[in-house]
Amino acid sequence: MLRSVLHFLPAAGKFDCLIFPYAGEDFILLDAGQLIDMAAVYLSRDMDPAIAEHARRFAGKIAIVTDKIGDPSTYQGPLAGVIVWHTGEASLNAAARSIATQSGAELVWADIETKQQETLQLIRFAFTLFPKAEIDSLLSHSVHLFFLHLKRWKDQSVSAFGNGPSLQKVVEGRRDVGQTLRIICNSTIGDAAALAHPAPEILFCGDPVQHCGCSSYAGRFRDDLRAALAQDVKRVVITQLGFVPYFRAALPPAKYDWVIGVSNDRDSDFNVDLTQSFYTAATANIFTTLVLPVAFTISKTVDVYGCDGQPFAQATRPWGHAQDSDYNSKMAVTHRVHPAFWRRNFAEELISYYNDMEDLLAVAETSGATVRSRTSSFVLALAKCFQP
């Protein structure tokens, strides 16, 4: 139950109640109010400890009902969604479908053992609870903020940093990257040394599990993001539009205008000029989804560091990161909180990433952009433009 606090936190004012069916014989002993009040006691150490504080916003919004068979008559009144947290019983899956059909509610499959993108599905559903006018306002405000900051960024040469192992040499050696606008992404936001050098001005993030999820790792990432923004008044974070409410929930209101959300569409072609259309093509990698499209919008000269990729022979696991041992130890918790997320075809993802990078760079070069990979890379499109 408590993991839903994080999933629905930005939409806490958009619904009346979260209803949880319970099939145990000790139903009479359950007290939703007590679960909220004592969230810090019940919360697993694998979860973001901030959930205990956020839970207070759900006081009076949690109901536990007795239901052993998924009886549709138990759920009267308008329902926005039916969420299936466990898909192990066929009869209950069928009952969930029946309840959703009967009520016209959206059916969301969110089993952490069987659904790789359960967190993303929950975020998408939570976003549907927002009135269209509020989403339109969120988008228009992001467009306004982007153009406002673009006045400061425009036509500077850009240095874009991935978080591959070669980034560590750039940071530790304090490599001179010239008078460029510096961009970092993802776990590098939590690297104090990288915040000092190359001293980025734009931060990119947008992983549903690692950045917007309910694990202690995601909670620590949000803490790191808050600290990184506090260090430099010029720093801005850019993410997908649907994630903006989750990052705002982790930031003081004074920093809301430093979070920009960009629309993305999985069916769209690559867009390297957000001033013409404020969207990007949705891919499975932050660099091809957001970092490079924004970089090409800012400048026709982009240097890339730390996008190492990996050999196909090693594509049975995620690729390496700067500070790899530390990163893996911190990430271990997400394997327990989101097990299905890590049951992936990494070889297929690697091929997709390499193809996306090649297609994106082709579009950028056609628009007149010059790309240089300043660190070596297994990504063929970057290897072709390697200039140390």
The DSSP annotation for 295-314 comes to HHHH-SEEEEES-----GGG
Please return the burial class of 105, using the count of CB atoms within 10 Å of its CB with bins 0-12, 13-18 and 19+: middle
Contacts of 247 (CB under 8 A, 6+ apart): 205, 211, 212, 222, 225, 237, 239, 259
What predicted TM-score, i.e. pTM, was given to this entire model? 0.94
- C-alpha span between 177 and 371 (Å, rounded): 14
Confidence tier at 321 by pLDDT (50, 70, 90): low
Model pLDDT, residue 129: 97
Nearest to 358 by CA among 342, 331, 337, 381: 381
Pick 269 or 268 by higher pLDDT.
269
Calculate the alpha carbon distances from 231 to 167, 226, 234 in Å. 21, 9, 9
Q: pLDDT tens across 73-100, in order?
A: 888 779 999 999 999 999 999 999 999 9
Average pLDDT, stretch 105-133? 96
What pLDDT does residue 196 have? 96
- pLDDT, tens only, 30-84: 888 998 999 999 999 999 999 999 999 999 999 999 998 888 888 877 999 999 9
Q: Dump pLDDT digits (tens) for 322-365.
A: 665 565 677 889 999 999 999 988 889 999 999 999 999 999 99
Cα-Cα-Cα-Cα torsion 295, 311, 356, 369, nearest 10 degrees, comes to 40
Q: Answer whether residue 179 shows pLDDT above 60.
A: yes
**Residues 320, 301 contacting (CB under 8 angstroms):** no
- Partners of residue 184 on adjacent β-strands: 203
Confidence of residue 320 (pLDDT cuts 50, 70, 90): low
**Closest residue by Cα to residue 301 from 387, 174, 200:** 387
